Amino acid sequence: MTLADLAPHPSPLPSSQGEASASDAGEARAYRRQSMPPLPRFVQIEPVGQCNLRCQMCAVQFRKDGPPHGPLAFLAFDDFKRLVEGFGDIDELQLQGLGEPTMHPQFFEMVAWASARGIRVSTNSNLTLWSERRARQCVESGLSALHVSLDAATPALYERIRRGAHFPKVMRNLRRVMTARRACGSALHVRVVTVLMRQNLHELPAIVRLVSAEGVRDMFVQYLCHDFEEHSLPDEYRPMRDFVHGQTLDEMPREALVAAFEAARTEAARCDVNLRLPTLERRAADASAPRCDWPWRGAYVSYRGDAMPCCMVGTPDRINFGNMLEQGVLRVWDGAGYRRFREQLAGDEPSPICRSCSLYRGIF
C-alpha cells in the first residue's frame, strides 16, 4: 500500500471545499482553535505494517517492521477491538495503512466485527493475494468500499511500479471481486485508485478504458502525496525523497497535463466512468485558505497502536503522539503532542511534515 493510496480522509470542514461563506470560514477557524476536540467519528487503523510488494512510491519498503527484521507486523484482533471501542461512536473506519491489509489472516473477521457495530468499513488492496474465496469473503463481510490500487494499463509498467506484483493475476482477482459482487447482489463500492507520476501519465486514458472493461465505474486519480522534505526525515527514507523528485509532476509542462487529463475525461465520458482527477495547479494554494482538518476530524493509528497526525505521514518513526494501546485512546488524543500539533497546524507555522504534504499545500 502506498502513501498515495491512503487518500480518503475525514469529511472536510465547510470552507475546505467549493465556495465557502464567511460563516463557514469562521466555523472552520473556530473548530481549529480547539486543541482538544471531541473524539473523532472517522478512524483509520493499520491492520498490517508490512507488505508483500515493494512499490516504488511506498515508504513501507524502508520500514523495519515484519520479517526479516522481526515478527509479523499484524495488529492482534483483541487490540483492534480495544482501539475501536476506545474511540466510542465511530461512523467510518478505514481498515488500511502502509501494509497490504489482506495479509492479515483475520482481516475479514475484523471487517465483519466492525460492520456488525454499524460502522462503515473500507479498505485499499493491491489484490495480489486474493482468490475466489477471498472475493466472496469480501462481499459477504459487510465491507462498504474497496479501493483497488492500479497505476498502469500495461503489464510491463505496472510491474515496474509495483515491484513483486503480477499484472494478469491482479486483473484476474479484480474480475473475481466484480463477479462475486454481482452474484451476491452486493452494494460493495469498488473504486480504482491511480497514483499519477511522470512514468505513467501517458497511460492515463488507457487505465480508464481498462477500468471500464472490468465493470468498475469509479476511478480516483491522485498525485504523489508527500515530498519527504522535512528536515527530521529518518535517513532510511531518503531514497523516497529522490524518487519523488524524479517522478513528481510539479515541473511537468502544463500543456502535457492538460492533454492527458482531457484525453482521460473523454474516455471516461465514453466509457461511463466517474473519474476524479486532481487539480492542474501544481503550486501551493493561497496560504490564507484553510488547509487540513485531519488532526481534528480523524485519527490514524499504526498496527502497534502509535497515533499519527494522518495517513499522509504513513509511518510513526517520522512523527507520532504516543501509543493508544498502551496509554489509551483518549489520553493520547487529548495529550500534549496532539495539542501542540493542532496549534501549529491552525497557525502560521505548521509542522515541517505538513508543509511537505500535497493535501496541506492544496494540490492533492
Name the pLDDT band for 19 (thresholds 50, 70, 90): very low
Question: Would you say 53 and 163 are in contact if contact means Cβ atoms under 8 Å apart?
Answer: yes
Task: Find the Cα–Cα–Cα–Cα dihedral 162, 48, 333, 364, rounded to 10°.
Answer: 10
Kindly tell me if the per-residue pLDDT of 354 is higher than 70: yes
What's the whole-number mean pLDDT along residues 222-242?
Answer: 88
Phi and psi based region of residue 2 (left: phi greater than 0; alpha: psi -120 to 50; beta: remaining): beta
> What confidence tens digit (pLDDT) does each residue in 275-297 have?
999 998 755 555 555 578 999 99
pLDDT, averaged across the chain? 89
pLDDT of residue 35: 63
> What confidence tens digit (pLDDT) does each residue in 78-107 have?
999 999 999 999 999 999 999 999 999 999
193 SS3 class: strand
Q: Which residue has the higher pLDDT, 283 or 314?
A: 314
Q: Which of 35, 29, 67 is nearest to 49 (CA)?
A: 67
Establish how many alpha carbons lie within 13 A of residue 18's alpha carbon, considering only the half-sphere containing its beta carbon.
6
pLDDT of residue 130: 97
> What confidence tens digit (pLDDT) does each residue in 122-178 have?
999 999 999 999 999 999 999 999 999 999 999 999 999 999 999 999 999 999 999
Residue with cell 480518503: 8
- Give strand pairing partners of 93: 43, 121
pLDDT of residue 16: 36
Strand ranges (E), the chain: 42-45, 54-55, 92-95, 120-125, 145-149, 162-163, 189-196, 218-223, 274-276, 298-301, 307-308
* Distance separating alpha carbons of residues 345 and 6, to the nearest angstrom: 20
> What confidence tens digit (pLDDT) does each residue in 335-347 have?
999 999 999 999 8
Crossing angle of the two packed helices 132-140 and 167-184, in degrees rounded to 10? 40
Kindly tell me if the per-residue pLDDT of 64 is higher than 90: no
Residue with cell 524502508: 62
* Distance separating alpha carbons of residues 113 and 176, to the nearest angstrom: 24
